[in-house]
């Protein structure tokens, strides 16, 4: 009981944030149609598929401001729509500070259309961030893959066990891929040169390595050179 009393006291002491005074909230998708009645916290959590702790956290950050009936939190329509906006932003990976900056910007909107334009700009910015992150991750993964392959090649360089007695059959695509591998092209460059998806190149390389009974792409190329399939 003492904890609830302190909680209510804290609620009375806190001033509503400027974000709660946003005149024009942008329209954002909700998991289900807007209910006809305000939602208690349990129904609010179920509505958005989040925990009570998450809702408490947003309240602590001033993003949500539920009504209070005793110790119970009740979320009217405006708070449900506000949560829809917050939830959308969080699902895109926006940080809390980015959401706070967006809400601050929305307080100056003079129409729903202006608010929606600001939200759209924020989402485009986030998409560009994700594209940059994806490119960085791809480069890092490729660097790791190349480093591991080079380590394996150095370890297995003298290993000629399971050398094929006859040149394995290669499709035209596999042969072109093998030639580019022998020229030192990495999978990304091969993908661009052959104008095929990176996943298809990786699949072809795996097939080539398997057909040469090799441990990796470097050993497969070495065996292909010894068999006279490609030049060194």
Give the model confidence (pLDDT) of 61-105 as tens digits: 999 999 998 889 999 999 999 999 999 999 999 999 999 999 999
The answer, yes or no, to whether residue 162 has pLDDT greater than 50, is yes
pLDDT above 90 coverage of the chain, percent:
56
pLDDT-derived band at 5 (thresholds 50, 70, 90) equals very low
pLDDT-derived band at 4 (thresholds 50, 70, 90) equals very low
CB under 8 Å, gap of 24 or more: what pairs does 37-42 form? Answer: 38/67, 38/74, 38/75, 38/76, 38/77, 38/80, 39/74, 39/75, 39/80, 40/72, 40/73, 40/74, 40/75, 41/66, 41/72, 41/73, 41/74, 41/75
Strands 39-40 and 67-69: unpaired
pLDDT-derived band at 215 (thresholds 50, 70, 90) equals confident
pLDDT-derived band at 157 (thresholds 50, 70, 90) equals low
Distance CA 208, CA 100 (A): 52
* Domains along the sequence of the chain with CATH: 2-125 (1.10.1660.10), 135-226 (1.10.10.10)
Query: What integer pLDDT is reported at residue 155 of this predicted model?
Result: 60
Rg (CA), the chain: 29
Average pLDDT over residues 136-157: 78
Say which residue the tokens 């394995």 belong to: 168
Distance CA 174, CA 152 (A): 22
CA dihedral 38, 43, 49, 55 (to 10 degrees): 70
Query: What integer pLDDT is reported at residue 203 of this predicted model?
Result: 93
Distance CA 2, CA 12 (A): 15
The answer, yes or no, to whether residue 152 has pLDDT greater than 80, is no
Distance CA 222, CA 206 (A): 15
The answer, yes or no, to whether residue 15 has pLDDT greater than 60, is no
Query: What integer pLDDT is reported at residue 67 of this predicted model?
Result: 94
Question: How many residues does the structure list for the chain?
Answer: 232
Residue 129 tokens, joined:
């961030």
The answer, yes or no, to whether residue 2 has pLDDT greater than 80, is no
The answer, yes or no, to whether residue 107 has pLDDT greater than 90, is yes
Give strand pairing partners of 40.
Answer: 74
Burial class of residue 223 in the structure, from the number of CB atoms within 10 Å of its CB (0-12 exposed, 13-18 middle, 19+ buried): buried
Distance CA 74, CA 67 (A): 5
pLDDT-derived band at 120 (thresholds 50, 70, 90) equals very high
Distance CA 102, CA 154 (A): 52
């Amino acid at each position: 009981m003492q904890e609830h009393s302190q909680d209510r006291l804290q609620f009375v002491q806190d001033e509503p944030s400027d974000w709660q005074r946003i005149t024009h909230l942008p329209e954002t998708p909700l998991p289900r149609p807007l209910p006809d009645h305000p939602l208690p916290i349990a129904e609010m959590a179920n509505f958005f598929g989040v925990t009570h702790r998450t809702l408490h956290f947003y309240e602590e950050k001033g993003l949500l401001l539920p009504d209070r009936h005793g110790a119970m939190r009740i979320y009217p329509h405006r708070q449900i729509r506000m949560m829809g906006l917050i939830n959308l932003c969080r699902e895109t990976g926006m940080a809390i500070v980015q959401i706070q900056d967006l809400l601050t910007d929305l307080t100056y909107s003079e129409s729903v259309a202006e608010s929606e334009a600001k939200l759209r700009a924020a989402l485009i910015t986030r998409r560009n961030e994700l594209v940059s992150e994806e490119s960085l991750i791809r480069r890092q993964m490729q660097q790791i893959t190349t480093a591991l392959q080079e380590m394996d090649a150095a370890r297995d360089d003298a290993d000629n066990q399971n050398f094929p007695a006859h040149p394995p059959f290669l499709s035209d695509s596999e042969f072109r891929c093998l030639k580019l591998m022998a020229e030192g092209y990495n999978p990304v460059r091969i993908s661009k040169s052959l104008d095929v998806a990176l996943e298809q190149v990786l699949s072809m390389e795996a097939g080539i390595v398997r057909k040469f009974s090799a441990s990796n792409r470097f050993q497969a190329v070495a065996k292909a050179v010894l068999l006279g399939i490609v030049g060194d």
